[in-house]
Amino acid sequence: METQPKSTYNIPAEAALDVLGGKWKTLILCHLSYGSKRTNELKKAMPGITQKMLTQQLRELENDGIIFRTVYNQVPPKVVYEMTEVGESLKGILDQLCEWGEKFIQGQFPKTKKSTPNGAL
Amino acid sequence: METQPKSTYNIPAEAALDVLGGKWKTLILCHLSYGSKRTNELKKAMPGITQKMLTQQLRELENDGIIFRTVYNQVPPKVVYEMTEVGESLKGILDQLCEWGEKFIQGQFPKTKKSTPNGAL
DNA sequence: CGGAATCCTGCACGATACTG
DNA sequence: CAGTATCGTGCAGGATTCCG
């Protein structure tokens, strides 16, 4: 009966992965790191994502205090997402991720394979 | 008929996420960033992972040239995984991930929720 | 000990349609 | 335009068993 209460992380990174671990979350944050964006802008930036997933992942990021949501009460609704301070603290990681991805694409690295579809970082 | 051939990334980070996007990959890399490890050591470091997933994710990382696998031909088999140079180039990101996770755990950030189990960065 | 193969399940995610 | 609700499903991933 000494089971750990619940979410005891074996390594701090797990906590980060809990937050960033959605299929699209990291990607969304990357886009938001360039500046606030409307829902539709995000959708266009990520052609593969569905409306449902977008909203869902955004909600979770919001609940985790990573992003902030602003609703403009006007007739064609307008909703803007932007990073919170906590979110900003992730910028370093996100930037590096992009940089690294660039290098990887440029084939600096030999094998460019792919397998696990799964999700998101 | 102008469909993009295949994996055309809208943003370089997607390439990185392709590589790190497995459910356990980032976590595995975090552990390996501290030094090479045997299969069993990794397993112990990640109580939640199954043998199957461990092997699978390791294979993919290997195919992507992120880690290197050494097999010792001895009777109780011994297999050691370590980061390649390409893998090493991820250390910065992995470290920051840990750091950030630590801060997040320490409750510097108010809401500590969780939802999408899914996977991995 | 490390891994491959098989079977099975759940839930993450997609598609669609509807509101304000 | 933004979001919710519902339904259906694939495939990621778990459990188990066998092999070198």
At B51 the pLDDT is: 93
pLDDT at residue B4 is higher than 60:
no
User: Is residue B31 included in any domain, yes or no?
Assistant: yes
For residue B28, give both structure tokens: 């595995």
Provide the CA B52 to C1' C7 distance, Å, integer: 14
Give the pTM.
0.83
Residue nearest to nucleotide C5 (CA to C1'): B52
User: Is residue A110 included in any domain, yes or no?
Assistant: no
The shortest CB-CB distance from A60 to any of B9, B46, B115 is to B115
Q: Tens of pLDDT along B45-75?
A: 998 899 999 999 999 999 999 999 999 989 8
Provide the CA A94 to C1' D14 distance, Å, integer: 31
Q: Which amino acid is residue B105, in one-letter code? A: I
- Structural domain for A84, as ranges: 13-99
How far apart CA A30 and CA A46 sit, in angstroms, is 11
Residue B93 and residue A97 in contact, taking contact as beta carbons nearer than 8 Å: yes
At B2 the pLDDT is: 38
What is the rounded radius of gyration, in angstroms, for the C-alpha atoms of chain A? 17
User: Is residue A42 included in any domain, yes or no?
Assistant: yes
User: What single-letter DSSP state applies at residue B78?
Assistant: E
How far apart CA B27 and CA A116 sit, in angstroms, is 15
CATH code of the domain covering residue B74: 1.10.10.10
- Assess A115–B contact: CB distance below 8 Å, yes or no: yes
Q: Tens of pLDDT along B85-107?
A: 999 999 999 999 999 999 988 87
User: Is residue B114 included in any domain, yes or no?
Assistant: no
User: Is residue A26 included in any domain, yes or no?
Assistant: yes
At A22 the pLDDT is: 82
Give residues with Cβ within 8 angstroms of A45, minimum separation 6: A31, A37, B10, B11
Residues of A with CB below 8 A from B21's CB? Answer: 116, 118-121
3-state secondary structure at position B121: coil
Q: Which bases of chain D come closer than 7 Å to a protein CB?
A: 1-6, 11-17, 20
Window 81-100 of A: residues touching B by CB (8 A cutoff) are: 86, 89-90, 92-94, 96-100
How far apart CA A13 and CA B104 sit, in angstroms, is 10
User: Is residue A73 included in any domain, yes or no?
Assistant: yes
Q: Tens of pLDDT along A51-108?
A: 999 999 999 999 999 999 999 999 899 999 999 999 999 999 999 999 999 999 887 5
Give, rounded to a whole angstrom, the gap between the first and last alpha carbons of chain A. 33
For residue B25, give both structure tokens: 């990959």
When divided into structural domains, chain B yields a total of 1
User: Is residue B93 included in any domain, yes or no?
Assistant: yes
User: Is residue B56 included in any domain, yes or no?
Assistant: yes
